[in-house]
Amino acid sequence: MDLTELRGKYIGAVAGAADEAALEEVRVAALGKKGEISALMATLGKMDPEARKAVGAHLNELKTEIDTALRARKASLADAALDERLKSEWLDVTLPGRPRPQGTIHPVSQVMDELTAIFADMGFSVAEGPQVESDWYNFDALNIPPEHPARQEHDTFFMHRAEGDNRPPHVLRTHTSPVQIRAALEHGAPIRVIAPGRVYRMDMDQTHTPMFHQVEGMAIDRDISMANLKWVLEEFCRAFFEVDKVELRFRASHFPFTEPSAEVDIRYSNVGGQLRIGEGDKWMEILGSGMMHPKVLAAGGIDPNEWQGFAFGLGIDRIAMLKYGIPDLRAFFESDLRWLRHYGFSALNLPDLPGGLSR
């Protein structure tokens, strides 16, 4: 059989294949190891060079043509099979989508967003700084003397120094007050900023963790006073705790970076295990505050003879516990998600397990 007849035989067989099984039989008969065209290719070695060159070229062309026809027919059969399947199957595109598990914002992140928005309404911008701070920004610039307990290794995480490394010490920041110094040095006065972020102290119990979150704020101007500080804190508490009446109590205290200094308590009651802010006869400490010490202003590059300001700091985790009634600070950070789900902050909306337990 010459190549023209061979071509007509297999091109016709490819076109007449009714399904993929029949098409595979044609491929094996033509191009398989024992196929007719493969057998002809095996005879090329017995031909003289000129004949081998001419016949080989024609055989390769025929092989390529049949292979192309096989692929095209296979695609055509697949399209036809899909058309038949689509005729027998249908999809209602008007049906609602299948629900997927969704998480919620972590309570600390939510509270951070809330307080940022509240202080923004009072003209405070947000400042950020490094979590690994120099000893100067974390302590010296804030008028914290060398003998202060906070500067000891049992209270602060100090960065490791190799033997012979005499650089000034660096620490994991113990508060976000260093950010205030950086902001003052960068922007000068007047200024109003808050500095929310992670801080680190060597502490661990029901109400303390080695890593927690703080927001510290400051306002510097020529006529700033404690009265301004009181108004800002009252407005914040009203907005954050979503109550109309808030009563704060300022108690004289001592902080190296403020003078005068005051710890601030908020009036509350506890009825049936539910905390109610703004009523009752109990007081709870929520933050520290005061007028910025002249040495702190000077460290921030601001002349204390022309400017004055107030500063305050509060624990974000602590006020999140107060607002959402979470009794244990460790619920925010440990791996048992039942804590967070119980207080409305499920990581995933999963069904309850038998016996009323949650995943």
Q: Which residues are annotated as a binding site for Mg(2+)?
A: 259
On whether the CB atoms of residues 127 and 220 are closer than 8 A, the answer is no
> Tokens representing 186?
């960068």
Q: Which residues are annotated as a binding site?
A: 259
Q: Residue 304, Cβ neighbours under 10 Å: how many?
A: 16
| Count of C-beta atoms within a 10 Å radius of residue 208 | 15
Secondary structure of the chain as H, E, C letters: CCHHHHHHHHHHHHHHCCCHHHHHHHHHHHHCCCCHHHHHHHHHHHCCHHHHHHHHHHHHHHHHHHHHHHHHHHHHHHHHHHHHHHHHCCCCCCCCCCCCCCCCCCHHHHHHHHHHHHHHHCCCEECCCCCEEEHHHHCHHHCCCCCCHHHCCCCCCECCCCCCCCCCCEEECCCCHHHHHHHHHHHCCCEEEEEEEEEECCCCECCECCEEEEEEEEEEECCCCHHHHHHHHHHHHHHHHCCCCCCEEEEEEEECCEEEEEEEEEEEEEECCEEEECCCCEEEEEEEEEEECHHHHHHCCCCCCCCEEEEEEEEHHHHHHHHHCCCCHHHHCCCCCHHHHHCCCCCCCCCCCHHHCCC
Nearest-Å Rg of the Cα atoms of the chain is 39
